[in-house]
Amino acid sequence: MLVEFRNVSKSYRSGLMAVTGINLTIDKGEFVLLVGPSGAGKTTIMKMIYMDEFPTRGEVIVGRYSSKSIGGRKIAMLRRQVGVVFQEFRLLRDLTVFENIALPLRAAGKRESEIKKRVSNVLYSVGLSSKRHQFPLKLSGGEQQRVAIARAMALRPPLLLADEPTGNLDPDTSEQIFELLLDINRGGTSVLVATHEHDLAGRLGKRILRLDGGRLAGGGGDESCTS
Ligand SMILES: Nc1ncnc2c1ncn2[C@@H]1O[C@H](COP(=O)(O)OP(=O)(O)OP(=O)(O)O)[C@@H](O)[C@H]1O
Ligand SMILES: [Mg+2]
């Protein structure tokens, strides 16, 4: 799914400019890193992609949806095509691993037999088949994040957003999570990862968008290099 920002600026009610003059394109099947210090605007960009926030100026285009014309029902449709993963996992502690991953499938009205099949497949792909009946708080941080990734992938979205997915994890576990995200990308899903781990990001050899003070380095995303 194609993502395009056309001269996007966003200020919150406080009047502070969170991001300014953002132009960027993420092509189908791309793996892109969004790197920048705290307060740079990474989460703001993520939120505008799943249309939880809207530009003050400019336009965000995600697949066939535009920030200028999208409304309530279409936002729900868009979100079925965009998986989202957060730093703090956001799993429901009273539900098993299986039920956490089943949630978006149930919300989308999938049949029980289909849900069983899909949850099994996606749990297998994150290497956690044996934990299906466990509760989230019994899992390690890395395992919880893998469950969150499995949940985000349950509807097989063409785009996966991960906002500081390794912010609460140790370096080895972080590497494993990045490996998993690369694996998902090899399966054809576009992936955008926000992180301030620029060393790790640099080693991946993928396109890096550098954000600082709400602006992309060079004023746009086109010159950004792999390293
Ligand atoms: N809901 C909000 N209301 C007002 N200001 C906000 C809001 N969310 C973010 N901001 C401000 O917008 C700017 C960008 O914030 P954002 O959360 O996008 O940064 P970030 O790069 O994700 O930072 P971090 O690495 O700490 O998560 C910051 O100055 C922040 O204080
Ligand atoms: Mg953030």
Q: Whose CA is nearest to atom 27 of ligand 1?
A: 38
- Ligand 1, residues at Cβ distance < 6 Å: 12, 14, 16, 18, 36, 38-44, 196
Domain regions of the chain by residue span: 1-81+157-227, 90-156
Q: Residues 164, 178: contact at Cβ < 8 Å?
A: no
Q: How confident is the model at residue 213 (pLDDT cuts 50, 70, 90)?
A: very high
If one counts every other C-beta atom within 10 angstroms of the C-beta of residue 26, the result is: 23
Q: How confident is the model at residue 25 (pLDDT cuts 50, 70, 90)?
A: very high
The answer for residues whose C-beta is within 8 angstroms of residue 41's C-beta and 6 or more apart is: 10, 18, 19, 211, 213, 214
Minimum-distance ligand 1 atom for the alpha carbon of 40: 21
Asked if residue 220 has pLDDT above 70, the reply is no
As a whole number of angstroms, the distance between CA 51 and CA 109 comes to: 22
Over residues 178-197, the pLDDT tens digits come to 999 999 999 999 999 999 88
Q: Is the pLDDT score of 14 beyond 60?
A: yes
5: part of which helix (H) or strand (E)?
strand 3-11
The pLDDT value recorded for residue 144 is 96
Average pLDDT over residues 145-150: 96
Q: Which fold has domain 1-81+157-227?
A: Rossmann fold (3.40.50)
Distance (Å) from CA 214 to ligand 1 centroid: 9
Q: What is the mean pLDDT of residues 161-175?
A: 93
Inter-residue contact 123 to 97 (CB < 8 Å): yes
Q: List, in sequence order, every residue forming a beta bridge with 96; answer none if it has no partner.
A: none
